[in-house]
Amino acid sequence: MMTNNENPEEKIDVVVDCILVNYRGDPEWRGRIVHAILEWAEEHPDEWDELQARCQQRHEVLV
């Protein structure tokens, strides 16, 4: 899933932001989303890699 030297917390933030479109509401709710994504990523590493790559591309375009 996250094997290279990049910051795993930053990577998950990029994916969560991509999914939630920079949702800025309740941090507790966001934490539940992060937890659910991490569980899913562990079960589906190939899909995680694809999702992470798409979200990273989107993030770079928006920056």
Q: What is the pLDDT of residues 15-37, one digit of tens each?
A: 777 777 666 777 788 788 888 88
Residue 43's pLDDT band, with cuts at 50, 70 and 90, is: very high
Q: What is the mean pLDDT of the chain?
A: 77
pTM of structure = 0.57
d(CA 61, CA 31): 25
Residue 1's pLDDT band, with cuts at 50, 70 and 90, is: very low
CA distances from 1 to 4, 17, 27, 42, 60 (A): 9, 18, 24, 7, 20
